[in-house]
Structure 1
Amino acid sequence: MAESYNKQAKQYSDSRPTYPEELFQFIASRTPCHDLAWDVGTGSGQAARSLAGIYKNVIATDTSPKQLEFAVKLPNITYHCTPPKMSIAELEQSIAAESSVDLVTSATAMHWFDLPTFYQQVKWILKKPNGVIAAWSYAKVEINTSKVNTLLQKLYRDCDPYREPRAKLLLDEKYRTIDIPFQPVNELGNTGPFEFKMEKLMDLDGFFTFIKSWSAYQTAKDNGVELLKDDVIQDIKNAWNEDGNPRKIVTFPICLRIGKVGN
């Protein structure tokens, strides 16, 4: 999938909102220490930026060099472009030593991972006991204008034939069916999903940029299918401008899975 995101890295960086502060405070309150976080599949660094305000140091990794070009630069964030698979020796050399990381995060990325290998790495690198893994994703977004929202949901359906099956874990299943082989954190009782919401004001240009950032949209285009045809664009423009408000509220549901390692 790195190749797909290479092609749309700028659109992805521009269109994806930062995640709500409430989400990061919820996660951070479950990690006893705030020394080091590893953000895996960081993309253009939306999550890493927020983590850097809580943790002393953040290591942010991605397999896409193009995505990392657009990542926000802060003095306590270190970015690494990594191969899709790393041995434990490579992990120690590039990321951190065994049992040295307080938090491992994956923001809208874990459904692309080789999960058994990833979990092995997480269990090796997290502090024991009580190091935390937190993975979250957006589900299907909604817009507060019914006609535009109807057209948006149709675009989701039109994208279905070009969506990789693993993306269903994000949009349709909200990470409910992903196995999280970790212990529940403190009083939570289970590993989730726990739901949050993020709202963003978006203008029409921003909406089209958001659509074009979808991996399924890019896959369709690579197969010679343009989902934003002229008539579709015009229908969206007409619906968007009907109420005279140039900006709409876009709601991003966020589903979090969180757990901890034991001794």
Structure 2
Amino acid sequence: MAKLFIEQAKQYAKTRPSYPQELFEFIASKTPSRDLVWDVGTGSGQAACSLAGIYKNVIGTDTSLEQLEFAPKLPNVRYQQTSPVISMGELEQTVSTQSSVDLVTVAQAMHWFDLPAFYQQVKWVLKKPHGVIAAWCYTVPEVNDSVDSVFNPFYTVDSDPYWEPQRKLVDDKFMTIDFPFEPVEGTDNTGPFKFVAEKMMDLDDYFTYIRSWSAYQTAKAKGVELLRDDVIESFKRAWIKDGQNQKVVKFPVHVKIGKVGNV
């Protein structure tokens, strides 16, 4: 599904929210060692950069070279473009050897994966029995009652025909996604556990975020402009109602986390 994000790679890198530090501290507290992370579907590196401050080495992989070009370069992060379907041989050559990775992370991407094949690779590459996988998604932004009252029908009605079916897994907060791993220490299930990411945005930023959607690009390719003039005006009226252009936009983040066990 990388092609859905190629045209708007710059917008995606600019407007995708950073994830809260509390999320990474929670995940890191569940990994006994902090040597190596494989960040799958790393995109423009938002998660990889945060992980680099906690773990010795991070390998960020993505099928989209355009996305990777916008990822910040750090000394302990290696970015690698991979095939859409990674063979076990490619996994060993480009990521790491069997039972050598402490943590596998997937930020806002796992709903696109061939999950049975991906989970086989995760179980092969993670250290046993305590290697951890953490996969999360963020759901729709929350601004205030005025803006949200315009956004919600725009999202659920106007944009709905243009989302891929996999988007339903995100709307369900990953509650229905297959996740065949054991609960990590200190938990009695694999989640999802909720965190909140926050990003300062003005109205132009907010529109740029919407234009970064895969659904927006799909609609555009079909000759449909989701942000019609009347829709833009509705958002403008709601946005300026409180007199503040800069607003804190909240993105609920839902993380599934588990350990590989002895499989």
User: TM-score w.r.t. structure 1 length?
Assistant: 0.97
CA distance in 2, matches of 1:238, 1:258: 40
* C-alpha deviation, 1:242, in angstroms: 2.2
CA–CA distance in structure 1, aligned partners of residues 149 and 83 of structure 2: 39
Q: Which moved more, 1:18-27 or 1:189-198?
A: 189-198
Q: Match of 2:175?
A: 176
1:47 is matched with 47
The aligned residue for residue 194 of structure 1 is 193
Q: Tell me which amino acid in the other structure corresponds to 1:215.
A: S
RMSD (Å), alpha carbons: 0.8
Q: Which amino acid aligns with 1:217?
A: Y
Taking the aligned partners of 1:23 and 1:242, their CA distance within structure 2 comes to: 33
What SS does the corresponding residue of 1:142 show, helix, strand or coil? Answer: coil
Corresponding residue SS for 1:135: strand
Matches within 5 A, 1:83-232: 83-144=83-144, 146-157=145-156, 158-170=158-170, 172-232=171-231
CA distance, structure 2, for counterparts of residue 82 and residue 4 of structure 1: 16
Bigger CA drift: 27-36 or 195-204?
195-204
**What is the letter of the counterpart of residue 42 of structure 2?**
T
Once the two structures are TM-superposed, the CA of residue 238 in structure 1 deviates from its matched residue by 2.0
Partner of 1:254: 253
Q: Deviations over 1:149-188 (max 9, x none)?
A: 1111122121111111111111x20000011111110120
What is the TM-score when the length of structure 2 is the normalising length? 0.97
| Contact 2:18/2:199 (<8 A) preserved | no
Aligned to 2:69: 69
Range that drifts further, 193-202 or 20-29: 193-202
* Number of residue-to-residue matches in the alignment: 261
Measure the CA separation in 2 of the matches of 1:150 and 1:217.
Answer: 20
Q: CA deviation at 1:201?
A: 1.8
Q: Which runs of 4+ in 1 moved over 3 A?
A: none
Aligned counterparts of 1:133 and 1:97: Cα–Cα separation in 2:
16
Name the aligned partner's letter for residue 59 of structure 2.
I
SS of 2:128's equivalent?
coil
Give 1:58's aligned amino acid: V
